[in-house]
Amino acid sequence: MESDRIQNMIIRKVLDTEDEILLEYLNNLLSAGEADKMYVLTADEKAIITESIADYESGRIISNDEVNARNRGWLKE
């Protein structure tokens, strides 16, 4: 697929969306290549990180092996 065609498809999708979170994400993603800009976390990303840190500090964690076992069980259902 030609790059100009892909660009036009993306532009149409961006113009059609009302999803502010998606637009913020795309803006951050596309700005990440700029040398003088740092990626800025969204409020949702900050909230998830804060919650994760609190879970870790409170001992609310499970091992990777347990997660994999749960997923295997869930997939068998």
- Tell me what the mean pLDDT of segment 23-30 comes to: 87
Predicted confidence band of residue 16 (pLDDT cuts 50, 70, 90): very high
Distance CA 46, CA 52 (A): 10
pLDDT at 28: 82
Which residues make Cβ contacts (< 8 Å) with residue 41, sequence separation at least 6? 49
Its pTM stands at 0.45
* 14 has pLDDT over 90: yes
Q: Where are the domains of the chain?
A: 1-35, 41-77
User: If pLDDT is split at 50, 70 and 90, which confidence band does 27 have?
Assistant: confident
pLDDT in tens, 31-46: 776 656 677 889 999 9
